[in-house]
């Protein structure tokens, strides 16, 4: 097991990374301050791991809430159902909420912990690769509104995160790949050495090699923690974590949430960002090809949907193409392993990127 500390002054917390962590009850129990625990999970994860977690919590008052699975259920109404359970089971201010699931469960549980009686303890047990390397670090919690993703939420840090790579053995291959997209992102934005490591170890990751997965999770969390420690509330630097996300969100919105996984849209979006970076002369054509090849090897899409026009992209990115100047900020590569945020974007180059990155 490895332990990584996310440094946020009095809100610092450890991420435990390794195999079979759920079989070590002491890891979690040392962080529980009261006598009550409420596990929040979803329909997919509950049959797989809820019993094992409850067994590890023997002796506490343990209640659980099983939410419907999927981004479409990340709503205020579903979130409110967590409070129904907490109050009907008389949980007090010393209770601990444990999120057992992917990003949706983590975001909703963290936001519920932030608001229940104005703030109770919170522990995260991510069950997807994406949530291990993304929502484990950063403290962003919240729910969607019909008019926008993650529009309602809070910054709220967990007491600890248990990234148990053994849980990934039940993860569908497509979701493993989606998690790898975010891992590749860290290599691109801040860690070229890690990018090279990923080129050399992609086969092991896809095969579910525990040592490789553990290393990739740790190095990803380290990279994100470095950025977040410098900019907890997204004043500036933290924006580089959104490499590929502006294009990716446009794809997700156009296709309807759930048709493309978030990681898949980010993969295609990162190719678009890399393509535009190449057109600006920041990276070479060989480097662009390496980005594309690495994502392809992870079975991720590297083209935007064939039916998406440049006009649609611009509209979904919230920009009127006729008044581009200064209105669109994008995360691009300055070099392999270094990202920048810029609003100095050439409309012609952007147009060329849309054309070049569209599927046939």
* Catalytic residue chosen out of the listed positions 249, 252, 287, 358: 249
Strand, coil or helix: 4: strand
CB of 193 to a copy of itself, least distance (A): 32
When asked if residue 145 is in the footprint of a copy of itself (CB under 8 A), the reply is yes
Is 71 annotated to bind a ligand? Reply is yes
177 belongs to an annotated ligand binding site: no
Whole-number Cα distances in Å, 102 to 33, 45, 63, 179, 217: 24, 9, 19, 11, 14
- Return the range that interacts with a copy of itself (CB under 8 A); candidates 95-103, 141-149, 253-261, 325-333: 141-149
145 among annotated binding-site residues? no
31 in a labelled binding site = no
Question: Interface with a copy of itself includes 103 (CB under 8 A)?
Answer: no
The encoded tokens of residue 332 equal 């691009």
Q: Give the Cα separation of 43 and 39 in Å (integer).
A: 13
Q: Of 18 and 110, which has the nearer Cβ to a copy of itself? A: 110
Q: Under 8 Å CB-to-CB from 170, ≥6 apart: which residues?
A: 48
343 binds a copy of itself (CB under 8 A): no
Work out the number of other CB atoms within 10 angstroms of the CB of residue 326: 9
- Between 76 and 211, name the residue whose CB sits nearer to a copy of itself: 76
Query: Is residue 94 a known part of a binding site?
Result: no
In this structure, what token pair is assigned to residue 137? Answer: 């670090």
Which bin fits 142, alpha (ψ -120 to 50), beta or left (φ > 0)?
left
Say whether residue 33 binds a copy of itself (CB under 8 A). no
Asked if 118 is an active-site residue, the reply is: yes
C-alpha distances (whole Å) from 17 to each of 69, 122, 132, 146, 164 are 25, 18, 9, 35, 6
Pick between residue 144 and residue 277 the one whose CB is nearest to a copy of itself.
144
Q: What is the DSSP letter of 257?
A: B
Is 69 annotated in a binding site? The answer is yes
Q: Which of 84, 96, 161 is nearest to 127 (CA)?
A: 161
**Distance (Å, whole) CA 106 – CA 129:** 13
> Residue 149 annotated as binding?
yes
Encoded tokens for 1: 């097991």
> Residue 37 and residue 349: Cα distance in Å, rounded?
53
Binding of a copy of itself by 35 (CB under 8 A): no
The tokens of 346 are what? Answer: 């050439």
* Neighbour count for residue 77 (Cβ, 10 Å): 8
Asked if 153 interacts with a copy of itself (CB under 8 A), we say: yes
At 304, give phi and psi (nearest 5°): -75, 160
- The answer to whether the annotation marks 303 as part of a ligand binding site is no
88, 200, 285, 360: which one binds a copy of itself (CB under 8 A)? 88
Which of the ranges 28-36, 40-48, 83-91, 161-169 carries the binding residues for a copy of itself, by CB under 8 A? 83-91
Comparing CA positions, the residue from 168, 161, 72 lying closest to residue 128 is 168
**140 catalytically annotated:** yes
**Residue of 19, 222, 234, 334 with catalytic role:** 234
Catalytic residue among 224, 252, 264, 358: 224
Is residue 152 near a copy of itself by the rule CB under 8 A? Answer: yes
**Closest distance between a copy of itself and the C-beta of residue 174, in Å?**
30
- In angstroms, what is the minimal distance from the CB of 4 to a copy of itself? 24
Q: Which of 26, 58, 59, 147 binds a copy of itself (CB under 8 A)?
A: 147
CA-based Rg of the chain, rounded to a whole angstrom? 20
> What is the closest distance, in whole angstroms, from the C-beta atom of residue 138 to a copy of itself in the complex?
11
Give the up-direction half-sphere exposure of residue 84: CA atoms within 13 A in the CB hemisphere. Answer: 9
Among 118, 200, 236, 281, interactor with a copy of itself by CB under 8 A = 118
Q: Which of 55, 80, 211, 289 binds a copy of itself (CB under 8 A)?
A: 80
173 binds a copy of itself (CB under 8 A): no
Binding site feature residues for Zn(2+): 182, 245, 262
Return the active site residues.
Answer: 118, 140, 182, 224, 234, 238, 242, 245, 249, 262
Residues engaged in binding a copy of itself (CB under 8 A) = 76, 80, 83-84, 87-88, 114-119, 140, 142, 145, 147-148, 151-155, 233
């Amino acid at each position: 097991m490895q332990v990584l500390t996310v440094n946020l002054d009095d809100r610092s917390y450890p991420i435990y990374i390794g195999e079979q962590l759920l079989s070590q009850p002491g890891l979690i129990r040392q962080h529980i301050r009261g006598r009550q625990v409420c596990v929040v999970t979803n329909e997919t994860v509950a049959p797989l791991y809820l019993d094992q977690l409850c067994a590890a919590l023997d002796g506490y008052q343990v209640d659980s809430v099983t939410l419907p699975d999927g981004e479409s259920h990340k709503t205020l109404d579903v979130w409110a159902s967590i409070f129904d359970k907490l109050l009907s089971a008389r949980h007090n201010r010393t209770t601990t909420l444990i999120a057992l699931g992917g990003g949706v469960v983590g975001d909703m549980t963290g936001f519920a912990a932030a608001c229940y009686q104005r703030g109770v303890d919170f522990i995260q047990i991510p069950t997807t690769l994406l949530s291990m390397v993304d929502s484990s670090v950063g403290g962003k919690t919240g729910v969607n509104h019909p008019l926008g993703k993650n529009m309602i939420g809070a910054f709220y840090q967990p007491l600890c995160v248990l990234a148990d790579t053994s849980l990934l053995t039940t993860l569908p291959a497509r979701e493993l790949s989606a998690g790898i997209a975010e891992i590749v992102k860290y290599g691109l934005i801040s860690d070229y050495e890690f990018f090279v490591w990923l080129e050399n170890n992609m086969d092991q990751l896809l095969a579910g090699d525990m040592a490789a997965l553990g290393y990739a999770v740790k190095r990803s969390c380290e990279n994100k923690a470095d950025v977040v420690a410098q900019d907890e509330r997204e004043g500036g630097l933290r924006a580089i974590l959104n490499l590929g996300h502006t294009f990716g969100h446009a794809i997700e919105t156009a296709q309807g949430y759930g048709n493309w996984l978030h990681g898949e849209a980010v993969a295609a979006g990162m190719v678009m960002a890399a393509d535009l970076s190449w057109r600006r002369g920041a990276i070479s054509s060989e480097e662009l090809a390496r980005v594309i090849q690495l994502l392809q090897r992870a079975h991720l899409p590297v083209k935007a949907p064939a039916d998406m026009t440049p006009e649609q992209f611009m509209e979904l990115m919230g920009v009127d193409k006729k008044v581009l100047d200064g209105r669109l900020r994008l995360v691009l590569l300055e070099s392999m392993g270094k990202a920048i945020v810029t609003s100095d974007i050439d409309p012609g180059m952007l147009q060329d990127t849309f054309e070049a990155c569209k599927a046939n």
